[in-house]
Amino acid sequence: MGTKERRERERAEVREKILEAARELFVSEGYEAVTMRKIADRIEYSPTAIYLHFKDKESVLRELCDADFIALAKKFARIGRIADPILRLKKAAHAYTDFGLENPNHYRLMFMTPHPPIDKEESAVEKGNPEEDAYAFLKATVEEALAAGRLRPGLDDADLLAQTLWAGLHGVVALQIAKANDPWCDWRSTTARSGLMTDVLVRGIVRGEE
Amino acid sequence: MGTKERRERERAEVREKILEAARELFVSEGYEAVTMRKIADRIEYSPTAIYLHFKDKESVLRELCDADFIALAKKFARIGRIADPILRLKKAAHAYTDFGLENPNHYRLMFMTPHPPIDKEESAVEKGNPEEDAYAFLKATVEEALAAGRLRPGLDDADLLAQTLWAGLHGVVALQIAKANDPWCDWRSTTARSGLMTDVLVRGIVRGEE
DNA sequence: CGCCGTAACTTAACGACGTTAAGTAAAGGA
DNA sequence: TCCTTTACTTAACGTCGTTAAGTTACGGCG
């Protein structure tokens, strides 16, 4: 009796179509453009049908967001094989800014928009697992660099270091997304900015002689 | 015949009351809470009265924003007297993160929200004047450090350097605002993070022997 | 003084939004 | 064949930014 399975599959397909439509709207037109009614139009359902699959609009966006967190972590995982932790940090920095600059709308939702604290572990990302959690990857690499004595004396807190490195890269991406069109200052190229940031951060934390 | 002057003054007073009410709502309840109807309630006018003084909601927010840009620049200007450009950079960094962390809602509007490109020079801030333009202050300080030969060889682009320093500090503030409530990682204190960031940035750009 | 234009404001309304309540139709097991 | 469950739609509510139309008060001018 495969009817139950078929029902579930069909349900999952509609769910997937909703996510797909939301993602397209989101990528091409930005956060504000994602409207329950527009999503519904795209998949030729009524707006309220979405509520049979998602609690509210926020849930739809958060699900997209979660998928992106995992995509980012996967991107990092591909770097994980590099032996030298400092070089690995540099490569990860490059991957991070690339990710943000290539997916500005996603990045904005992921890192630039305050969300209500994510209550339970209903999030799809498995915290602490470097394969799915990009922060865990970064912290693990910092710990390796620390253990190998590659960093300046006085630096010993892997979390603090990871958060600072992250913040530096985030600053480059976030300013680009929020202020790139602002003629306030003569913006240098994103590659120049992210390159110098990586350089400055690494030089700022490694032992002198490198 | 001072009637015309009185009319203008009364008009300006209402305008100021609108801004004041908007600012209060904005600071205490965040961006989303600023509603034309709520502003109107606070000053005991009808919602549409606001449109006699401002083109739209965006204009109200942008006016608040402009005032904050000048406030930030004024905060910087008080630092301007420090002779040593590197020390001045450090002090400015501290002032910047303080400003952002103390006024998260303003900071978010100023630096974390993409705005339509500001068409004309109707902005209140006078670009290029370090007294009103915080970026100009930063760039001028970097230029001084460059001219004094205090920075690493190879670094010569004051704009690129200023943008990178700014990005680093922005990253600390912006991550705090957007992600501080996220249990994703064990956040270190904001003072530790902004302190290390300043330290890392400065060490990353100054000549080795300092 | 009395009219009249004008400026400041209000009331009413429009269309769009997220979301909920109530209704409908189909499909599958008994 | 009926009945329950499931998937969906239609209608509606309250809120939003904003516009159009109406009202009231007041200073200038005959």
Taking only the tens place, the pLDDT of each residue in A60-114 is 999 999 999 999 999 999 998 899 999 999 999 999 999 999 999 999 999 999 8
**Could you tell me the two tokens for A159?**
């979390």
Is residue A20 within 8 A of residue A7, CB to CB? The reply is: no
pLDDT-wise least confident of A164-178, B34-48, B110-124: B110-124
Q: Is the pLDDT of residue B3 over 90?
A: no
pLDDT computed for residue B39 by the predictor: 98
pLDDT computed for residue B151 by the predictor: 98
Is residue B14 within 8 A of residue B46, CB to CB? The reply is: no
Cα separation, A166 vs B188, in Å, equals: 13
Chain B residue closest to A138 (CA)?
Answer: B185
Predicted confidence band at B8 (pLDDT cuts at 50, 70, 90)?
Answer: confident
Residue B200 and residue A196: Cβ atoms within 8 Å? no
Cα separation, A106 vs A70, in Å, equals: 12
D6 C1': nearest CA residue: A7
Measured between beta carbons, which residues in chain B are less than 8 angstroms from residue A185?
Answer: 135, 139, 159, 162-163
Report the SS3 class of residue A44.
Answer: coil
Residue A167 and residue B168: Cβ atoms within 8 Å? yes
Burial B76-101 (b: 16+ CB within 10 A, else e): bbebeeeeebbebbbbbbbbbbebbb
Instruction: Kindly determine whether the C-beta of residue B36 is less than 7 Å away from any atom of nucleic acid strand D.
Output: yes
Q: Is the pLDDT of residue B1 over 60?
A: no
Measured between beta carbons, which residues in chain A are less than 8 angstroms from residue B168?
Answer: 167-168, 171, 197, 200-201
DSSP string of A100-155?
Answer: HHH-HHHHIIIIIS------STTSSS-TT-TTT-HHHHHHHHHHHHHHTT-BPTT-
**Could you tell me the two tokens for A127?**
């915290």
Predicted confidence band at B210 (pLDDT cuts at 50, 70, 90)?
Answer: low
Q: Is the pLDDT of residue A172 over 90?
A: yes
Q: Tell me how crowded residue A194 is: count the other CB atoms within 10 A of its CB.
A: 24
Predicted confidence band at B149 (pLDDT cuts at 50, 70, 90)?
Answer: very high
**DSSP assignment letter at A34:** -
**Could you tell me the two tokens for A121?**
């572990």
Q: pLDDT tens, A23-40?
A: 999 999 998 999 999 999
Q: Is the pLDDT of residue A3 over 80?
A: no
B71 burial via Cβ count (<10 Å: 0-12, 13-18, 19+): middle
